[in-house]
Structure 1
Amino acid sequence: MLLAIALSFGLVALSFIFHYRVLLWLSVSSQIKMDKQGKVLFIVFVLFLAHIVEIGFYSFIYNLSVNTFDLGFFKGAPIGGAMNYLYYSGVIYTTLGLGDIHPVGHIRFITAIEALNGFFLITWSASFTFLAMGRLWPWEGQCVSSTDNKD
């Protein structure tokens, strides 16, 4: 159990540091010669890729936890290849939780931590994107609300 706890908190630290560095890089990369809407699209694309990498961190540890450390196994749909671990990790990270694969043993703890971690990182990305859109998106004159249209 201690190994599962150590792996979980190690993954949280790794993903937080990685995500922080990506956000920091995106903040500094505002000097890229691109129109403002292009910058927003660039930010969203990079953040999407960052989440894929973070899901990959967890899928790698699931593979190690099952095949090397013997911390548990998965029941339900067959899981054996790298894509299956990536699929499972993506389902957990996004808190989708389809339930077609069930962790058994100490990997359940890693699964629970990944769901919380993924939720946190996704909301961090959403708030960063919201702030970037507030700076970069041309809101002026784009929408007319019902209160603005006083005939």
Structure 2
Amino acid sequence: MTPDLLSAAVSPEHWLAVLVTVALVLAAVGMHYEGLARLNAWTPRWRLAGRSRVLLLIFCIIGLHIAEIWLFGLAIHGLTYFPALGTIGGTEPVRLLDAVYLSTTTYTTVGYGDLAPRGPLRLVLGSEALTGFVLLTWSASFTYLEMQRYWRV
């Protein structure tokens, strides 16, 4: 092992970033799972026409994604109070809405690049991109199945 790799492997800041990342991914996936499970149970009870039902479902799913983005954004903002865990390049100081914006561009994998994580915080944001991609595609699959059930032209 090179000295840089060894120091990163034993760095408490890096291990803390790993723990925060695992907790955030578990929370976001759990939130998504429960959200879709509830929508699956509630959707048949809605007294709406098929297409209106799908429209409401879409708004609910977007709300679920917004909650997940804010979950990561709040964590990112909180982590920036500990400089050893990393910083966000492109803005100083990092305000809450800056962190939520960075979370949004990361979660959706748009990644404009005007804000960039540095240090152990990169692990949190890299994992958010993977998590966001998986959750967005999960939502797309769920929506497709619901549209097959309720969408009548």
TM-score, with normalisation over the residues of structure 1?
A: 0.88
CA drift at 1:70: 3.6
Whether 1:8 and 2:6 are equivalent positions in the alignment is: no
Tell me if structure 1 keeps the 8 A contact 2:80–2:94: no
Distance, in Å, in 1 between the alignment partners of 2:18 and 2:134 is: 18
Aligned with 2:80: secondary structure? Answer: helix
Question: Partner residue of 2:61?
Answer: 47
Tell me if structure 1 keeps the 8 A contact 2:88–2:94: no
Whether 1:113 and 2:121 are equivalent positions in the alignment is: no
Q: 1:21 aligns with which of 29, 34, 51?
A: 34
Distance, in Å, in 2 between the alignment partners of 1:46 and 1:69 is: 36
1:67-126 deviations in Å (ceiling 9; x for gaps)? 147401011244522111110100000000111011110000001000000000000000
Please list, as runs of the form range in 1=range in 2, the aligned pairs for 1:89-108 lying within 5 A after superposition.
89-108=103-122
Off by >3 Å, runs of 4+ in structure 1: none
Question: Partner residue of 1:144?
Answer: none
1:1-30 deviations in Å (ceiling 9; x for gaps)? 111111111111101111011101111112
Counterpart residue type for residue 101 of structure 1: L
Question: Partner residue of 1:76?
Answer: 90
Counterpart residue type for residue 7 of structure 1: V
- Across the aligned residues of Structure 1 and Structure 2, the Cα RMSD in angstroms comes to 1.2
Unaligned runs of 5+ in 1: 140-151
Whether 1:131 and 2:126 are equivalent positions in the alignment is: no
Tell me if structure 2 keeps the 8 A contact 1:79–1:85: no
1:37-71 deviations in Å (ceiling 9; x for gaps)? 11101110000000000000101111111114740
Unaligned runs of 5+ in 2: 1-13
Aligned with 2:20: secondary structure? Answer: helix
Larger Rg: 1
TM-score, with normalisation over the residues of structure 2?
A: 0.87
Counterpart residue type for residue 32 of structure 2: H
For these two proteins, the number of residue pairs brought into alignment is 139
